[in-house]
């Protein structure tokens, strides 16, 4: 699955350049070392043949929803059933996106002493999760964009920690995935496969990751300590 992830670029201009989007796409950007479900992040979609960034909350809420009570249950969508489940079916056909990140976490050990491991590229390049987005109205005059991350079978590396992993798209495949004019969205399911086992490395990191309120560079150091509490 994918329950936490990171995006540690120093500034929004750097991130925009890597993603091929307008330089002002990340005006309020700050590095994140422990993005958790229902928190705000960003998704990238294709509009009029150009990539566009949208602020979005993690946990897909359907347009028809009366509240966000299902958001935490919809942080992930299984690649195998994304085209048939009512929650995700329409977004799969019409609203595919990528979620920019540079790593994600999985855990091992007992519940009272869980050890987080950070999966990331050794060259520190971005990873693009395949995602879906949807908008709903928390208030009559307010729209909010939400998203989910697709998961697939774990590869040889991540299988040691979990039987699922996020779908990671190569940049050349990301535009095909996001193309809203794709003539046969079902054909895009061929992209929803495990990443090559040598794409990522696994780094044990601070147990402080376990607390969703912790968000600092020290989390990515073994034995690091909490140094920043996110506002509620």
Give dist(CA 132, CA 150) in Å, integer.
8
What torsion do the CA atoms of 97, 99, 100, 104 make, to the nearest 10 degrees? -150
Q: Of the residues 106, 122, 134, 144, which is catalytic? A: 106
Give dist(CA 213, CA 229) in Å, integer.
5
2 is catalytic: yes
**Across the chain, how many H-helices and E-strands are there?**
3, 13
Q: Of the residues 2, 18, 52, 97, which is catalytic? A: 2
Strands 50-58 vs 5-7: parallel, antiparallel or unpaired: unpaired
Residue whose pair of structure tokens reads 């996110």 in the numeric block: 230
106 is catalytic: yes
Task: Please list the active-site residues.
Answer: 2, 106
């Amino acid at each position: 699955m994918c329950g936490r992830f990171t995006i540690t670029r120093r500034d929004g201009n750097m991130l925009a350049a890597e993603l091929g989007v307008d330089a002002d796409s990340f005006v309020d950007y700050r590095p994140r070392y422990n993005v958790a479900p229902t928190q705000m992040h960003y998704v990238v979609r294709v509009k009029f043949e150009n990539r566009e960034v949208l602020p979005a909350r993690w946990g897909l809420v359907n347009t028809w929803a009366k509240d966000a009570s299902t958001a935490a249950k919809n942080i992930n969508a299984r690649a195998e059933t994304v085209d048939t489940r009512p929650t995700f079916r329409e977004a799969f056909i019409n609203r595919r996106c990528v979620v920019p990140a540079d790593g994600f976490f999985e855990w091992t050990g007992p519940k009272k002493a869980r050890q987080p491991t950070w999966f990331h590229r050794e060259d520190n390049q971005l990873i693009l999760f395949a995602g879906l987005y949807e908008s709903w109205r928390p208030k009559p005059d307010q729209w909010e964009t939400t998203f989910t991350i697709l998961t697939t079978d774990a590869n040889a590396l991540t299988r040691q920690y979990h039987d699922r992993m996020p779908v990671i798209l190569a940049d050349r495949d990301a535009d095909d995935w996001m193309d809203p004019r794709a003539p046969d969205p079902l054909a895009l399911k061929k992209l929803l496969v495990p990443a090559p086992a040598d794409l990522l490395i696994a780094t044990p990191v601070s147990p402080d990751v376990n607390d969703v309120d912790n968000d600092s560079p020290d989390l990515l150091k073994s034995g690091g300590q909490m140094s920043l509490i996110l506002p509620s």
